[in-house]
Amino acid sequence: MANIIEYVKYYRNKTFEEIPFNEVDALIFANLSYLNFNNCLKQLPITIEELTNVYILQMTPNKLKKESKVYRDAHNMLMAMKLSNRYKNLLITNYKKVIANEIQFGAITIKSNYFTYISFEGTNSYISGWKEDCHLSHRYPIPSQILAKEYINKTIKDDDKIIYIGGHSKGGNLAVAGAMESSLNIQNRIQAIYDFDGPGMREQEFQSQKYQLIKNKIKKYVPNHSIVGMLMYSPANLRVVNTTAKSILQHYPSSWNCFGSFFVEDSLSRKSIRFSREIKKFVKEYKEEEMERFVETIFTSLKNIGINQTDIITISKITKSIMHINNLNVDKETKEKALKLVNMLIQLHR
């Protein structure tokens, strides 16, 4: 078994004609959108090799240490891609990054002679990004979903005949939402929509005619102990991937195992199945404004106890957040909702 970086190294001399584009390539490209290429893309398009040569001058070891785990993993993957004949001559274009208030959006387009791949940035390990994931449960569209739609419609040209769209975490949700809201002309050329452990859609959108038009093109992958990918509604035929990590850390793509050009299959844990069922029931019980209040309560509590990254979430810190929720100046009902969700997270970690 291997991870995606080892895959890049192993197939470095294989062209897309010899080893066609596959699900592992799709995850690799989904990871590219996590990287910050600001000040690196003065002239587009640019090859991955050329881009990396410029990027590495800007990303010093000290800067890299301050980045999230998912960013560092993507960085290491890019370094391997630069040395790979399979990837180094692919063209990068249409880079976009938006960070404002509670909006976290990123996208990049990868072009080859065989396909065009649009990659949407997912949630990084910072709590602010996860907060946006929670807002997906009671808002549609969120600002990032609107930007995803606009990006697809502006990026895809008439000569893009074979199109793939993908993303990891929130990026997977944006890939689905963006494709769902794109023009029929573009939808007809989309070969597959790759959703790697991303939140699903609200029930209203999941049942909509727009979703039905693209449903059969969605390829969703989740780890054995999925949390983010179990939020809301997704196609029933999702693929479960074996990983080397435990609990919430399985969300990171660097832990996913592949064999050749396929992911190693696994089965969904009972905890993930139960969490999926309970979170759907939980969301249905409350109105949108109530969900807004309790989401704010949860993240205020996490901030108060010093949790700003998912890398440092532990049982003891989640338990400690209960005391802070009880001390917050919010109504009793909101506290009860927040405590109920915290208890669900504790059960997942055990």
Residue 221 lies in a domain: yes
Q: How far is CA 133 from CA 160, 200, 239, in A?
A: 31, 10, 21
The answer to whether residues 194 and 219 touch, using CB atoms and an 8 Å cutoff, is yes
Contact 148, 180 (CB under 8 A): no
Place of tokens 């809301």: 232
- The answer on 293 and 264 residing in a single domain is no
Q: Given this model, what pLDDT does residue 307 score?
A: 57
Mean pLDDT of 88-107: 89
pLDDT, tens digit, 9 for 90 and up, residues 244-281: 999 888 999 999 999 999 999 999 999 999 989 988 98
3-class secondary-structure state, position 310: helix
Number of domains the chain contains: 2
Q: Residue 124 pLDDT > 70, yes or no?
A: no
Least confident of 31-45, 105-119, 247-261, 318-332: 318-332
Long-range contacts of 52-57 (CB under 8 A, 24+ apart): 52/78, 52/79, 52/81, 52/82, 53/82
Q: What range defines the domain where residue 332 resides?
A: 285-349
**Max CA separation in the chain (angstroms):** 62
CA separation for the pair 4, 260 (Å, rounded): 10
If asked whether residues 77 and 30 sit together in one domain, one would say yes
**Average pLDDT in the 113-122 region?**
96
Based on the fold, state whether residues 33 and 181 are members of the same structural domain: yes
275 is a domain residue: no
DSSP for 269-305?
-HHHHHHHHHHHHHHHTS-HHHHHHHHHHHHHHHHHT
Other beta carbons within 10 Å of 319: 13
CB 241, CB 257: distance < 8 Å: yes
- pLDDT grade for 342, boundaries at 50, 70 and 90: low
Domain boundary among 269, 300, 319: 269
Residues 17 and 58 in one domain: yes
- The per-residue pLDDT for range 283-297, each reduced to its tens digit, is 888 777 777 776 777
**Residues 133 and 207 occupy one common structural domain:** yes
Asked whether residue 316 is domain-assigned, the answer is yes
295-331: per-residue pLDDT in tens? Answer: 777 677 666 656 555 555 554 555 555 555 555 556 7
Residues 258 and 314 in one domain: no
| Helices vs. strands in the chain: H and E counts, helices first | 15, 10
Let me know whether 307 and 245 are in one domain: no
pLDDT (0 to 100) of residue 344: 66
Q: What is the pTM of this model?
A: 0.90
What are the backbone dihedrals phi and psi of residue 111, each rounded to the nearest 5 degrees, phi first? -120, 140
Let me know: does 172 contact 144? Beta carbons within 8 Å: no
Same domain membership, residue 223 and residue 113 = yes
320 & 263 share domain = no
Is 276 a domain residue?
A: no
Domain identity same for 135 and 74: yes
Q: Give the sign of the dihedral formed by CA 295, CA 30, CA 3, CA 238.
A: positive
Would 277 be classed as within a structural domain?
no
